[in-house]
Amino acid sequence: MQFSAAQIAIIINGKVEGNADMNVASLGKIEEATEGELAFLANPKYEEYLYSTKASVIIINNTQELKHPISATLIRVPDAYTAFATLLDKYQQMQNQQLTGIQQPAYIDVTAKIGEQVFIGAFAYIGEKSIIANGAKIFPGAYIGNNVVVGENSIIYPGVKIYNHCIIGKNVVIHAGTVIGGDGFGFAPQPDGTFIKVPQIGNVIIEDNVEIGSNATIDRATIGSTLIKAGAKLDNLLQIAHNVEIGNNAVIAAQAGISGSTKIGNNVMIGGQVGIVGHLQIADGSKINAQSGVSKSIKTPNSAVTGSPAYDYTAALRSQAMVRSLPEIEKRIKELEKLVKELLIPKG
């Protein structure tokens, strides 16, 4: 399938410089692209390739100045990275729209409701009274339990497991191997040292436009709902415990773990391998640096913290700088001690 520079510019609201009829049929990295491919330049580190690439069409920022002549057709946009992401999304949507129908063998309970333009892959399981809304894609080997709702145009990739009573909103993407609605980690300690399991009878609600990476686990609530709010983006290999709430447009990187009943605010950014203990409040706009351990609530919006235990980011940097200066400080102290001793020794 080919697209002209003019057609691409319409999709990404760009302005063409050069041959608007130039066609491309595939995508390529600017340093490797060949004739007939589309590339983009967003990172200044790759600017040198703008003048040597063989790409036929290149998306660049409006602010990009040309230091040498180039042969490729340019499409200027306010943000080349965002424009390229938009283009990739449109391309993926076109591919997914071609997937419709029910492959065999697949199990669909007679009480389940299946919408229009749905795709259900081979060996998928759809449980009792579940709803698969219009345009949803259930890839091979996925498990959809009883009374589950999968919203319009959502994509459930291979091997995803969604337990009973969970609700998935519209335009949600859940990548391979993720488990939604497994039991939360709830055990009551007994006097004899044993534990009694606390039944987890709640569910998980994932609102619209959420994306969840591969092999993440989001536990069902003990009572009520574990909630992932609209627009949140969750990376691979996450552990989200029971009754956690993740705010609108929050972003969480890989290998983070959030303990039970913690509430993450809107637009929070959490780095990789962060650990957050239970029953905390993380204010809107907070930024938590990678590998931090958060043991207290963050109450001030737009705070930045780092370390374990995590504390103010700027103060942490000052502390690190001070630690690096300790050898020099020690040397100066010893010199001062020597000087003081010389001054105290009586002369003659």
| pLDDT band at residue 176 under the 50/70/90 scheme | very high
E strand map for 241-331: 245-246, 251-252, 257-258, 263-264, 269-270, 275-276, 281-282, 287-288, 293-294, 304-306, 311-312
Q: Do the beta carbons of residue 5 and residue 73 sit within 8 Å? A: yes
Of 52, 25, 51, 19, the C-alpha closest to 38 is: 25
What's the mean per-residue pLDDT of the chain?
A: 94
Q: What pLDDT score was predicted for residue 313?
A: 75
Cite the active site residues. Answer: 242
Q: What pLDDT score was predicted for residue 309?
A: 81
Q: What count of residues does the chain have?
A: 348
What is the SS3 assignment for 325?
Answer: helix
pLDDT higher than threshold 70 for residue 348: no
Residue range 82-106: mean pLDDT, rounded: 87
Say which residue the tokens 């009520």 belong to: 224
| pLDDT band at residue 150 under the 50/70/90 scheme | very high
The angle formed by the CA atoms of residues 303, 305 and 307, to the nearest 5 degrees, is 175
pLDDT higher than threshold 70 for residue 14: yes
Q: What is the pLDDT of residues 153-175, one digit of tens each?
A: 999 999 999 999 999 999 999 99
Please state which of the ranges 5-19, 81-95, 213-227 shows the lowest mean pLDDT. Answer: 81-95
Residue range 199-209: mean pLDDT, rounded: 97
pLDDT higher than threshold 70 for residue 42: yes
d(CA 237, CA 253): 9
The angle formed by the CA atoms of residues 136, 258 and 262, to the nearest 5 degrees, is 95
Q: Do the beta carbons of residue 148 and residue 165 sit within 8 Å? A: yes
Element (DSSP H or E) covering residue 10? helix 5-12
Q: What pLDDT score was predicted for residue 20?
A: 95
Q: Do the beta carbons of residue 76 and residue 12 sit within 8 Å? A: no
Residue range 141-150: mean pLDDT, rounded: 98
pLDDT higher than threshold 70 for residue 222: yes
The residues near 49 (Cβ < 8 Å, ≥ 6 apart) are: 30, 31, 41
pLDDT higher than threshold 90 for residue 339: no
Q: How far is CA 192 from CA 175, 196, 199, 294, in A?
A: 42, 11, 20, 32
| pLDDT band at residue 225 under the 50/70/90 scheme | very high
Element (DSSP H or E) covering residue 129? none
- Give bridge partners of residue 181 from the DSSP assignment: none
Q: What pLDDT score was predicted for residue 323?
A: 79
Residue range 249-257: mean pLDDT, rounded: 98
Q: What pLDDT score was predicted for residue 347?
A: 65
- The single-letter DSSP state of residue 89 is H
pLDDT higher than threshold 90 for residue 94: no
Q: How far is CA 281 from CA 60, 92, 174, 260, in A?
A: 41, 37, 26, 11
Angle between helices 80-97 and 5-12 in degrees, nearest 10: 100
Q: What domains lie within the chain, and their CATH numbers?
A: 3-97 (3.40.1390.10), 102-312 (2.160.10.10)
Say which residue the tokens 């938009």 belong to: 86
pLDDT higher than threshold 90 for residue 2: no
| pLDDT band at residue 99 under the 50/70/90 scheme | confident
